[in-house]
Amino acid sequence: MIVKEHAPGSFCWAELSTPDPASAKQFYAALFGWEFADNDAGAAGVYTMCRLGGDEVGGMCKTSARQEQMKVPPHWGTFVAVASVDDVVVKAKALGATVLAPAFDVMNVGRMAVIQDPTGAVFSAWQGKEHKGYARVNEVGAVCWNEVETRDVDAAQKFYTALFGYRAEHMGEGPTRYTVFMNGEKAAGGMMAIEKGMEHVPPHWLVYFAVKDCDGTVAKAKASGGSVAFGPMDIPGTGRFAVVLDPQCAAFGILQPVAR
C-alpha cells in the first residue's frame, strides 16, 4: 500500500543500525528483494534508503561511535510520527521517560528525538519535513506491524496512551494478554509482556515485515547467514510469524498474514 502522509501517532519509519552495512545490504536484498540508495549525511556519514519497487520502506546506517561506546547492539529502531517533536519530548519527560537524544534537526528532512519509555523500551519521535516516512507499507517486503515487549505492561500502557492518545484494546487474559494501541480508528501497534525465562531480553520495540511465506523466508534467512530467535508459529486469525536475527544479530519480525 502506497502512503504519502503519516498521521501523528502512527509508526512512520524503521531504521537499521548495523556495524556492517555492506553485509546487511546483501542479506536484506536476498530476503526482501530490496534495492539501496546511499546518501551523504554529512558528519553522520552515509545514510542508506532501503527501497522496494522504487519506494522507500526503511533506512540503514552504520553504528555510530557513540553507540559503540555505549555498547548498543545492532538493531532495528522504530519511529512514531508527531506534530511537534519538542512538545512530545516535554510530555514524555513528564510521564517518566528518559530522553536519550533531545530534539534535533536532521538536515532539512525532519526533526527527531530518541526516547526510552519508563519500562526501558526505546523509540524515536519523528516530525517529518522533506521526508515523511515510509512510502509503502503492509505488503510483502514492507513494514506491517510494530510491537513493544516489556516487563511492565501496565506502566507501558499508561505511558503510550497518555503520550500519543492511543486507546488500548485487549485480547486474552493474564500473561498471554495482547494489547493493541488504537490511533483513532486504526491499529497503530501492539504490546505484550516479555515471558518468564527471557531474562536476557531487554524491553524493546520489534519491527515486523510482511512476507508471502513465513517458513520459506526463515529458510532463506538461515541460508543467508541469519538465524531464528523464535518460531515460526501460527497466530489464529492473524497469520504465521517468526522472529529473525540478521547476520549482525539485529532482530526483526516477519509475518505471513492470514488470507482474507
Asked if pLDDT for residue 134 goes beyond 80, the answer is yes
Among the ranges given (28-42, 48-62, 75-89, 166-180), the one the predictor scored with the smallest mean pLDDT: 166-180
What's the CA gap between 87 and 28, in Å, rounded? 35
Q: Which of 91-100, 103-112, 196-205, 211-220 has the lowest mean pLDDT?
A: 196-205
Q: What is the mean pLDDT of the chain?
A: 94
Domain range spanning residue 160? Answer: 143-257
Per residue in 205-243, pLDDT tens?
999 999 999 999 999 999 999 999 998 999 988 999 999
In the prediction, which pLDDT does 164 show?
Answer: 98
**C-alpha dihedral, 236 to 140 to 182 to 122, nearest 10°:** 110
Residue 50 lies in a domain: yes
What pLDDT, in 10s, does the model give residues 60-69? 999 888 888 8
| Pair 151, 244 in one domain | yes
User: Is residue 173 included in any domain, yes or no?
Assistant: yes
Residue 232: cis peptide before it, omega within 30 degrees of 0: yes
Q: How many whole angstroms separate alpha carbon 249 and alpha carbon 226?
A: 8
pLDDT at 71: 84
Across residues 178-204, what is the average pLDDT? 92
Q: Is 180 left (phi over 0), alpha (psi -120 to 50) or beta?
A: beta
Residues pairing with 98 in the sheet: 116
Distance of CA 5 to the CA centre of its chain: 18
pLDDT at 51 over 90: yes
**pLDDT at position 201, please?**
86
One domain, residues 242 and 152: yes
Number of domains, the chain: 2
pLDDT the model gives residue 181: 98
What percent of the chain shows pLDDT beyond 90?
A: 82
Q: 257: which 3 cell numbers? A: 498474514
- Please tell me whether residues 248 and 149 are part of one structural domain: yes
Looking at the structure, do residues 123 and 20 belong to the same domain, yes or no? yes
Rounded Cα distance between 130 and 45, Å, is 19
Quote the CA–CA distance of 165 and 9 in Å, as a whole number: 8
Same domain, 31 and 110: yes
Is pLDDT of 36 > 90?
A: yes
Q: At which of 128, 153, 187 does a domain end? A: 128
Single pTM value for the model: 0.95
Question: Would you state the pLDDT for residue 42?
Answer: 77
- Please list, residue by residue across 64-81, b when 16 or more beta carbons sit within 10 angstroms of its beta carbon and e when fewer do: eeebeeeeeebbbbbbbb
CATH number of the domain within which 81 lies: 3.10.180.10
- pLDDT over 70 percentage in the chain: 99
